[in-house]
Amino acid sequence: MSFADWKIKTGGAQTPAHGDSRLVLSITRMTIHNGPGMRTLILFKGCPLHCIWCSTPESQKTKPELGVYPMKCIRCGDCIPVCPTKAISLPDGKLTVNRSLCNVCGKCVDVCNAKALEIMGHRMTITQLVTEVKKDEIVYKYSHGGVTISGGEPLFDTEFALNLLKAFKAEGINTGVDTCGEVPWKGLEPTLLYVDFFLWDIKHMDPEQHKKLTGVSNKLILSNAKAVAARNVPLYIRIPLIPGYNDSEENIRATCEFSRGLASVVQVDIMPLHHLGKARYDSLDRMYPIAGLALYSDEAILGIKHIVESYGLKCVIQA
Amino acid sequence: MAIVFDKKDTQNVGSWQDLFVPSYNERIKNLRENAIRTPEICLERLRVEMKVYEQYKDEPRIIQRARFLEAFLKEKTIHIWDNELIIGGINSKVRGSTIIPGDYSWLESELDDPVRDPQIRPFDRHIIHPEERKELREVIFPYFKGKTLADYNLARVDDDLKEHAFAGTSSCPHIPSLADWQMGGDIGHQMANYEKVLHKGLKGIKAEVEYYLAQVDQPYDHYSIKEKKDFYKAVLISVDAAIAYAKRYADLAREMAAKETKPKRKKELEHIAEVCTQVPANPARNWHEALQSVWMLHVVISCEMASLVHCFGRFDQYMYPFYKKSVIDEKTMNHDQALELLECFWIKCNGAMLRSYEFVKVLTGMGLGLVLTMGGQTRDGKDACNDVTMLCLETDEQLGVLLPETAFRMWEGTPDKYLRKATELVRLGYGKPKFIMDKKGVQMVAKGYPELTIEDWREYSLLGCTETNLPHITMGNLYESNSVAAKILELVINNGKCAICGKQIGPLTGDPRTFESIDGVRQAFREQVFYWMTYNAKGSKTLKEAQSAWYPAPFSSSLSEGPLQRGIDVTQGGAWFTTYGAFIAGLADTADSLGVIDRLIFREKKLTWDELTKALKANWQGYDNLRQLCINGVPKYGNDIDAADEWAAFVLDTWADSLDWINTQKELLPPWGGRWVGAIITGSNTVAFGHNVGSLPNGHIYPSPLADTMSPVQGMDKSGSTAVIKSASKLPMHRLALGGPLNLRLSPQFIATERDIENVMSFLRAIENEGIYHVQFNIISSEELKKAMKEPEKYRDLMVRVASFTAYFVDLTEEQQLDIIHRTEHQGCC
């Protein structure tokens, strides 16, 4: 299908009113780890998985959430009287929100000049997103980059995702989708025409273990991967490496064996554990399930890289 | 297998610099020490000045100057240091600073001071030997006291100018526009026609001078016959002095060769003698002679004018024929030998300059401002990169020394090969090279030189920090004006009163409470800018007249286009073009503050002038909440938001308007004319200027530093480098012919792998296309990350990226920050 066809089908960047907006967590320009070239990365809110190592916990729920950053608080107290549910207090000068009372109305955020309170998740339309992504068009042109949608799960709302991807394509922007793969085939299939590549997470090959770590079985994820590969859409397989959870040689080998069977695999990215998401758990007053888990040594990572490469797969350490 | 995270592991952290293993030989290794050792001082220049001007006191000044150069070059101590292949020193020390008459004004009080003495102070140290201290105290200070150009200027400048143009003499030292920098000393800033000497030799130049001298006796130019004759005579004396100087080195080399016992060095010295006999008097015949000739000319120029910024122009362009001849055609040397010679040349450039304690306190590590330009386009618009371009990049990579500063001109046709090498050099984190983008650069030069054609514009190269200059046809008087836009805004808010000392220094532009709309602010801002720039131009004119009378430069004149043809010294308007540079500082703070006033006072009416002025008066103490509103509640420059970026454009447009206006006012320019051109340059003066500006509506607290050059206010660019680029591309740079640098900070992870090199290359190409004139990259070192841990408020914008994960460094917990530092240390693995 040519660009012209897309334009006719989608009416340019215009999209139908239904399925034309979604909660966006953040838009980061000039990223280099999310596909070829330099890319703008959009994180959406809402994910069917709840991985215990998730580094963006604020992306899991589908509704807006209140982020609290006591370090930025200047203790002016303006937020306390405006809260309709009296959920905010400043015991010992530390900004505290009673989560059981908070209804995320955002009134406190409006009066907080220091940005110590923040709503996570803003509704954005496709037009707004396209405008934002187009700002770096020249950078994409020279670096062969584009946009990567991620999250959360970018295909969680498949209708929206389809419209969004069409809109990007209508502007001639290269599109990448960073997905967990847990998407009904019926929703996934129509998007394939508008996706230049997938970053496809495979977190564990054992369905039981997968369920234990992420909350869902891997059946659909693996069958989708096969089906996408059969349609020849490029796949970057991504393995988050969590020591003691999914980094056994057996599991790595099983993942490689599976990846090797996918015709359109470009490379395998291995992503060693980091604890950078901990601050985000704190701002949501949630417990970080794998706090203190030891990090990898360089040698250990290189060892895993060698295993992947022994399967004839290109392996990149995304650290 | 995993290791337990241990804080101890992160104490010694490295960078790409540590991973790079230079391949230079033993000679270069030893010589490199010369480039980085603690400098000494040299007093020989002063001794000659004291004697010669007295001896020739009845001669015209220009002859005196030529006689001074003659005597200095004849009497100064010369050395050929061990291992050297390129020889010749500006002064008598291995690495030394030449002391000039004007230095007495501060050196007298700092010498032997327990804190400020140059040998004791913690930064930019200089060794001063006891006998030199004695000579300074007993002979030099008493002689020059009251006799320098600065003293002369101070005595003749009228009170009005003293009050409004010079911070050093004003009763309010915080005035927004300063013309002080040229108060004493010579102008410097030469970009000589090295190419001409390489092909014709100084003897060729001499013949040219003699030709013009013979023409002077024409009857139709009878008014200035004597001046012209004196000028040509002075040029001849200077050129002869330079030829004789090179001969001294040839003799010394021969003498040393005779005594030398090691056969290898003996041969080298004999060769050096041969080279110095040939150049710069005669045309250069090979790579070695060309390098020696350029260096020797640079030395003589620096001896004539002790001031800064004698630049090399388009080095790779005029040097290539000699490289081609030696390495490619005649094969008299190989690539490695050519590289070794260039490395020797590079090392020679690392001289020093002694500056006062107060100066270096805010501006440490500044070199002599030697810039070497490479790459870009040829006159006919083809790519100009050649083997010498690559050789320069290799030398920079190998040596990692401060000088010369290298500027890599790039355009859409720059081949990947050269761009890749330049990008790999960026990775080492020396801040080299600076990237100069032709797309905008040519537009800017077109504004500065509308009379010329595109072929000439393509020849531009860098003089000083980032200033465009057409080599050897322009006399660039660059440091003529230093203006602080933020101070202007402060005066607007206070109706012309200085917020720091409370004096009424500026014109009454109206009580802001009476402004009905933001247009009132705009108008007041404009009036203040024109008022101060007019004074600045007047002050600068006065200094120029005195400076050109005191310090004409016959030798430098002989290497410029214009002076010989016109018979007028280069400092007196002899060059085809004369420019005066106006530097603007505090752009981002001013733009952000205007945005705050516009949005919060006039549009949203969340704030009144009274509240704002009260908060500013209190330096924001006790107004935390309001300050946070001003910081977070209004879009800021640097985030690709038009509403904010337009204010930055307004500030620069206003300045450009004022300069355009001054250029039409004959009485504001020196008698020989010239034109003012603008630049956004602050150097490290952000610290010093921070002390001159009170608190500002954008949340700026007195006396913290202002934002540098075109960069956003520290911590306010929250949308990444591409947004900064887009914001900067909206500025009217085409109206500011001297340009300005944009500093971008990259984390080492961003440029870790081969693929990342490709990415940065494509980023550079995108930047060129966006219409940015200049970028330079700072690679964030782990040292800097550690600093960010200590002072988080200064590093709010510091972004770290790990895989798909992006975070503001300062938002992370200590443990995570140490993890990032740990990653910085181990970046080599992936």
Q: Report the length, in residues, of chain A.
A: 319
Chain B residues in contact with A144 by the CB 8 A cut-off are 762
Report the candidate in B544, B545, B574 with the shortest Cα–Cα distance to residue B557: B574
Say whether B816 and A33 touch across the interface (CB within 8 A). Answer: no
Closest approach of B620 to chain A, Cα-based (Å): 13
Chain B interface includes A314 (CB < 8 A): no
Distance, in Å, from the CA atom of B32 to the CA atom of B398, rounded to the nearest integer, reads 10
Report the candidate in B99, B66, B70 with the shortest Cα–Cα distance to residue B248: B70
Say whether B723 and A279 touch across the interface (CB within 8 A). Answer: no
Distance, in Å, from the CA atom of B729 to the CA atom of B715, rounded to the nearest integer, reads 19
3-state DSSP call for residue B190? coil
**Letter string b/e over residues B566-592, b meaning 16 or more CB atoms within 10 A of that residue's CB:** bbbbbbbbbbbbbbbbbbbbbbbbbbb
Distance, in Å, from the CA atom of B410 to the CA atom of B525, rounded to the nearest integer, reads 37
Chain B interface includes A111 (CB < 8 A): no
Say whether B804 and A38 touch across the interface (CB within 8 A). Answer: no
Chain B interface includes A306 (CB < 8 A): no
Say whether B625 and A28 touch across the interface (CB within 8 A). Answer: no
- Across-strand partners of B40? B96, B127
Long-range contacts (CB closer than 8 Å, 24 or more residues apart) made by B389-392: B389/B316, B389/B418, B390/B417, B390/B418, B390/B421, B391/B323, B391/B335, B391/B338, B391/B339, B391/B342, B392/B315, B392/B316, B392/B342
From first to last of the 319 residues of chain A, give the pLDDT tens digit. Answer: 333 333 333 333 333 345 789 999 999 888 888 999 999 999 999 999 999 999 899 999 999 999 999 888 999 999 999 999 999 999 988 999 999 999 999 999 999 999 999 999 999 999 999 999 999 999 999 999 999 999 889 999 999 999 999 999 999 999 999 999 999 999 999 999 999 999 999 999 999 999 999 999 999 999 999 999 999 999 999 999 999 999 999 999 999 999 999 999 999 999 999 888 888 898 899 999 998 898 888 889 999 999 999 999 999 888 6
Above 80 in pLDDT, residue B627?
yes
Domains of chain A, by residue range, sit at 3-63+121-317, 68-119
Query: What letter does residue A223 receive in the DSSP assignment?
Result: H
Distance, in Å, from the CA atom of B714 to the CA atom of B810, rounded to the nearest integer, reads 13
For residue A152, say if its preceding peptide bond is cis, omega within 30 degrees of 0.
yes
Q: What is the pLDDT of residue A9?
A: 39
Above 90 in pLDDT, residue B776?
no
- Across-strand partners of A120? A65
φ, ψ for residue A215 (rounded to 5)? 95, -15
Predicted confidence band of residue B807 (pLDDT cuts 50, 70, 90): low
**Letter string b/e over residues A80-105, b meaning 16 or more CB atoms within 10 A of that residue's CB:** eeebeeebbeeeeeebebeeeebebb
Say whether A135 and B723 touch across the interface (CB within 8 A). Answer: yes
Q: What is the pLDDT of residue B453?
A: 95
For residue B791, give both structure tokens: 């002072």
Q: What is the pLDDT of residue B1?
A: 26
Q: A39 Cβ partners below 8 Å, 6+ apart? A: A30, A31, A32, A140, A145, A146, A147, A148, A176
Q: What is the pLDDT of residue A17?
A: 44
Unique residue bearing structure tokens 């004369």:
B578
Q: Among B76-80, B522-526, B821-825, which is the least confidently predicted range?
A: B821-825
Report the candidate in A225, A241, A230 with the shortest Cα–Cα distance to residue A181: A225
Q: What is the pLDDT of residue B471?
A: 92
Residues A151, A177: contact at Cβ < 8 Å? no
Residue of chain B nearest A139, judged by CA positions: B766
Cα B676–chain centre separation: 18
Say whether A276 and B812 touch across the interface (CB within 8 A). Answer: yes
CATH class of the domain whose range is A68-119 = alpha beta
Beta strands in B124-238 (DSSP E): 177-178
Work out the average pLDDT over B285-311. 94
**Partner residue opposite A142 with nearest CB, options B625, B750, B762:** B762
Say whether A294 and B1 touch across the interface (CB within 8 A). Answer: no
Instruction: Tell me the percentage of chain B whose pLDDT exceeds 70.
Output: 92
Closest approach of B470 to chain A, Cα-based (Å): 30
Closest approach of A34 to chain B, Cα-based (Å): 6
Residues A253, A246: contact at Cβ < 8 Å? no
Residue B803 backbone zone (phi > 0: left; psi -120 to 50: alpha; other: beta): left
Predicted confidence band of residue B470 (pLDDT cuts 50, 70, 90): very high
Chain A residues in contact with B620 by the CB 8 A cut-off are none
Residue of chain A nearest B746, judged by CA positions: A30
Residues B624, B647: contact at Cβ < 8 Å? no
* Model ipTM over 0.90: no
Is A3-63+121-317 a CATH 3.20.20.70 domain? Answer: yes
Say whether B830 and A34 touch across the interface (CB within 8 A). Answer: no
Above 90 in pLDDT, residue B14?
no
Q: What is the pLDDT of residue B799?
A: 64
Distance, in Å, from the CA atom of B352 to the CA atom of B98, rounded to the nearest integer, reads 8
218-257 of A, contacting B, C-beta below 8 A: 243
Residues B480, B182: contact at Cβ < 8 Å? yes
Report the candidate in A237, A222, A217, A236 with the shortest Cα–Cα distance to residue A185: A222
Cβ-Cβ pairs closer than 8 A, A with B, add up to 139
Query: What letter does residue B49 receive in the DSSP assignment?
Result: H
Q: Among B62-71, B642-651, B685-694, B760-769, which is the least confidently predicted range?
A: B685-694
Mutate to test the interface with B, among A76, A109, A113 (most CBs of B within 10 A): A113
Mutate to test the interface with A, among B759, B804, B822 (most CBs of A within 10 A): B804
Q: Among A227-231, A245-249, B118-122, B450-454, which is the least confidently predicted range?
A: B118-122
Is residue B743 classed exposed, middle or buried when 0-12, 13-18 and 19+ CB atoms within 10 A define those classes?
middle
HSE-up of residue A238 (Cα within 13 Å, Cβ side): 22
Above 50 in pLDDT, residue B242?
yes
Chain B residues in contact with A318 by the CB 8 A cut-off are 803-804
Closest approach of B683 to chain A, Cα-based (Å): 28
Cα B86–chain centre separation: 25
Distance, in Å, from the CA atom of B66 to the CA atom of B236, rounded to the nearest integer, reads 9
3-state DSSP call for residue B16? helix
Residue of chain B nearest A276, judged by CA positions: B816
Report the candidate in B518, B801, B685, B658 with the shortest Cα–Cα distance to residue A318: B801
Helical packing angle, B61-75 and B44-55, nearest 10°: 140
Work out the average pLDDT over B553-580. 94
3-state DSSP call for residue A313? coil
Chain A residues in contact with B624 by the CB 8 A cut-off are 74, 76, 114
Predicted confidence band of residue B366 (pLDDT cuts 50, 70, 90): low
Work out the average pLDDT over B602-607. 93
Q: What is the pLDDT of residue B823?
A: 56
Tens of pLDDT along B697-712? 999 998 888 888 888 8
Distance, in Å, from the CA atom of B333 to the CA atom of B322, rounded to the nearest integer, reads 11
Question: Measuring CA to CA, how many Å separate B316 from each of A204, A246, B319, B374, B768?
Answer: 57, 56, 5, 6, 21
Query: What letter does residue B377 receive in the DSSP assignment?
Result: B
Rg (alpha carbons) of chain B, rounded to whole number: 27
Distance, in Å, from the CA atom of B261 to the CA atom of B233, rounded to the nearest integer, reads 44
Distance, in Å, from the CA atom of B766 to the CA atom of B723, rounded to the nearest integer, reads 12
Closest approach of A112 to chain B, Cα-based (Å): 8
Chain A residues in contact with B818 by the CB 8 A cut-off are none
88-107 of A, contacting B, C-beta below 8 A: none
Distance, in Å, from the CA atom of B85 to the CA atom of B686, rounded to the nearest integer, reads 40
Taking 3-state DSSP, the helix, strand and coil percentages for chain B, each rounded to the nearest 5, stand at: 55, 10, 35
Q: B539 Cβ partners below 8 Å, 6+ apart? A: B157, B161, B164, B165, B166, B179
Work out the average pLDDT over B157-174. 90
Distance, in Å, from the CA atom of B657 to the CA atom of B676, rounded to the nearest integer, reads 11
Residues A264, A232: contact at Cβ < 8 Å? yes
Q: B199 Cβ partners below 8 Å, 6+ apart? A: B283, B284
Amino acid type, B256:
M
Question: Measuring CA to CA, how many Å separate B579 from each of B184, B448, B663?
Answer: 19, 9, 10
Closest approach of B767 to chain A, Cα-based (Å): 8
Above 90 in pLDDT, residue B797?
no
Q: Among A288-297, B217-226, B360-369, B577-586, which is the least confidently predicted range?
A: B360-369
In the predicted model, what is the mean pLDDT of chain B? 88
Mutate to test the interface with B, among A32, A268, A281 (most CBs of B within 10 A): A32
**Partner residue opposite A278 with nearest CB, options B633, B802, B813:** B813
**Partner residue opposite B816 with nearest CB, options A31, A271, A275:** A275
Chain A residues in contact with B807 by the CB 8 A cut-off are 276, 279
Chain B residues in contact with A74 by the CB 8 A cut-off are 624-625, 628
Q: What is the pLDDT of residue B742?
A: 87
Residue of chain A nearest B763, judged by CA positions: A139
Mutate to test the interface with B, among A27, A30, A51 (most CBs of B within 10 A): A30
Q: What is the pLDDT of residue B465?
A: 79
Residue of chain A nearest B722, judged by CA positions: A30
